């Protein structure tokens, strides 16, 4: 994933506002020059800056070492690239702490695994109970590329931790116990301990970015449709996801009252949502809808569509595009059917950005499109496209922006 492009273009897009400084977008945890803002804890491994990377080097006979952020984070989205020597196991601590709160206390907490043993990306409890990802869910995989840079993406929100490597989701974990014991903490870059006569080995990190999600609020509680209105067949699932399952004979997309509509209007915001479509599935994320009985001409739609097999150039009617404009996705980031997609829509004034599965794919100004007359405030909605479009939604969250 082209993380530099995501960050720079986002900040450029919103440079005229104050929010770029307010963690709406990603911030650099590593400034590319020195280790200001970081403190080493435990162990005697060394950390240095080399080019655009932080390089950790093992120390013979040392226990695990950690380079830790001075700031603490609870709910967040984290991205980084990593490359590790084949003989070395490593990891990135999240929401971690030291024993008894002492500066030299044992580092403990959730760790996202970095390794070449087909277990990369799963979540381990460092000095905190061992594997958090259950044995039954730790399926060996080949998404981590030995000897190459690998792009990690981590989203931690309350008891839910999700991880991706090179665009493929690895772990989808809910862990109440560890969230209770470690709701907030530092980010830590681990150099694993090695025995006498081994090494030296190195691990490298670059493009370490974080978006603070602490001010995001859940719009869907996972239990019922409080805060929403609809006449459609929206069904809460056992796992908390929300399924739109059109009833027999419910076909077509112009049944406006069957859409799922927020009871509240929203103006400037960052909205995130996850969804999984069936083969050929079609839906949409509506926002700033001034009239719920006429969302097509009184609102804006970001397209949800199974474009996973499309090879040709994308249009604004393909996945992630803004329907009715020329704002098409710059890259096809669609997941295959029945796999969770994650969309983030940012609207500030007439400026808009759509991120899909970790990459900014749409950005522009609505006042330079046929949408220039659309309301700057309105309802949020999810489309019931009629049979056979059974689509699941979850993790619907928003951060309102007050300028």
Q: β-strands 107-114, 123-126: how paired?
A: antiparallel
Helix or strand run (H / E) with residue 33: none
Between the alpha carbon of residue 390 and those of residues 237, 243, 246, 247, 306, the distances in Å are 13, 7, 7, 10, 12
pTM, 2 dp: 0.91
What does 305-363 look like in DSSP terms, one character per residue?
E--TT--S---TTSTT-BTTSS---SS--PPPTTS-EEEEEEEETTEEEEEETTEEEEE
Strands of the 260-266 sheet, one edge to the other: 228-229, 260-266, 378-382, 282-289, 300-305
Residues 6+ away with beta carbon under 8 Å from 155: 76, 77, 78, 161, 162, 213, 342
Whether 24-212 shares its CATH topology with 217-400 is answered yes
Tokens 């277990």 -> residue: 119
Please answer whether residues 91 and 112 qualify as being in contact, where contact means their C-beta atoms are separated by less than 8 angstroms.
yes
- Please tell me the CATH code under which domain 217-400 is placed: 2.60.120.560
Helix or strand run (H / E) with residue 100: none
Q: β-strands 391-400, 242-244: how paired?
A: antiparallel
Give residue limits of the domains in the chain.
24-212, 217-400
From first to last of the 403 residues of the chain, give the pLDDT tens digit. Answer: 333 334 344 444 444 444 444 457 899 999 999 999 999 999 999 999 999 999 999 999 899 999 999 999 999 999 999 999 999 999 999 999 999 989 889 999 999 999 999 999 999 999 999 999 999 999 999 999 999 999 999 999 999 999 999 999 999 999 999 999 999 999 999 999 988 888 799 999 999 999 999 999 999 999 999 999 999 999 999 999 999 999 999 999 999 999 999 999 999 999 999 999 999 999 999 999 999 999 999 999 999 999 999 999 999 999 999 999 999 999 999 999 999 999 999 999 999 999 999 999 999 999 999 999 999 999 999 999 999 999 999 999 999 998 7
- Please tell me the CATH code under which domain 24-212 is placed: 2.60.120.560
Q: Is 229 exposed, middle or buried (0-12, 13-18, 19+ CB in 10 A)?
A: middle
Residues 6+ away with beta carbon under 8 Å from 244: 232, 233, 234, 235, 260, 283, 382, 384, 389, 390, 391, 393
Residue 135 backbone dihedrals phi, psi, to 5 degrees: -55, -40
Coil, strand or helix: which one is 373?
coil
Residue 76 backbone dihedrals phi, psi, to 5 degrees: -160, 170
Q: How many CB atoms lie within 10 A of CB 179?
A: 19
Coil, strand or helix: which one is 164?
strand
């Amino acid at each position: 994933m082209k993380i530099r492009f995501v960050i720079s273009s986002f900040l450029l897009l919103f440079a005229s506002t104050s929010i770029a400084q307010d963690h709406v977008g990603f911030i650099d945890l590593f400034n590319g020059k020195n280790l200001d803002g970081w403190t080493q804890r435990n162990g005697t491994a060394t950390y240095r800056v080399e080019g655009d990377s932080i390089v950790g080097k093992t120390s013979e006979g040392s226990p695990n070492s950690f380079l830790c952020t001075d700031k603490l984070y609870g709910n967040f989205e984290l991205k980084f690239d990593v490359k590790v020597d084949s003989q070395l196991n490593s990891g990135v601590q999240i929401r971690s702490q030291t024993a008894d709160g002492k500066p030299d206390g044992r580092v403990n907490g959730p760790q996202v695994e970095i390794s070449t043993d087909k277990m990369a990306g799963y979540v381990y409890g460092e000095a905190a109970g061992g594997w958090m990802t259950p044995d039954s869910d730790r399926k060996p995989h080949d998404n981590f590329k030995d000897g190459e840079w690998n792009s990690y993406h981590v989203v931690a929100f309350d008891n839910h931790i999700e991880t991706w490597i090179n665009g493929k989701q690895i772990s989808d974990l809910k862990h109440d116990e560890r969230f209770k014991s470690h709701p907030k903490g530092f980010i830590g870059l681990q150099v694993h301990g090695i025995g006498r006569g081994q090494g030296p080995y190195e691990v490298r990190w670059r493009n370490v970015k974080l978006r603070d999600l602490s001010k995001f609020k859940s719009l869907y509680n996972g239990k019922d449709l409080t805060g929403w209105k609809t006449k459609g067949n929206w069904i809460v699932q056992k796992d908390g996801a929300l399924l739109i399952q059109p009833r027999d004979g419910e076909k077509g997309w112009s049944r406006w009252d069957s859409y799922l509509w927020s009871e509240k209007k929203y103006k400037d915001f960052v909205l995130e949502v996850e969804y999984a479509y069936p083969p050929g599935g079609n839906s949409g994320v509506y926002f700033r809808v001034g009239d719920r009985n006429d969302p097509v001409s009184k609102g804006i739609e970001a397209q949800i569509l199974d474009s996973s097999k499309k090879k040709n150039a994308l249009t604004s009617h393909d996945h992630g595009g803004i329907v009715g404009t020329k704002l098409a996705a710059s890259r096809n980031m669609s997941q295959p059917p029945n796999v969770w997609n994650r969309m983030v829509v940012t609207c500030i004034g007439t400026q808009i950005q759509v991120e899909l599965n970790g990459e900014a794919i749409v950005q522009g100004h609505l006042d330079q499109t046929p949408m220039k007359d659309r309301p700057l405030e309105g309802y949020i909605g999810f489309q019931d496209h009629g049979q056979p479009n059974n689509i699941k939604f979850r993790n619907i969250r928003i951060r309102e922006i007050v300028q």
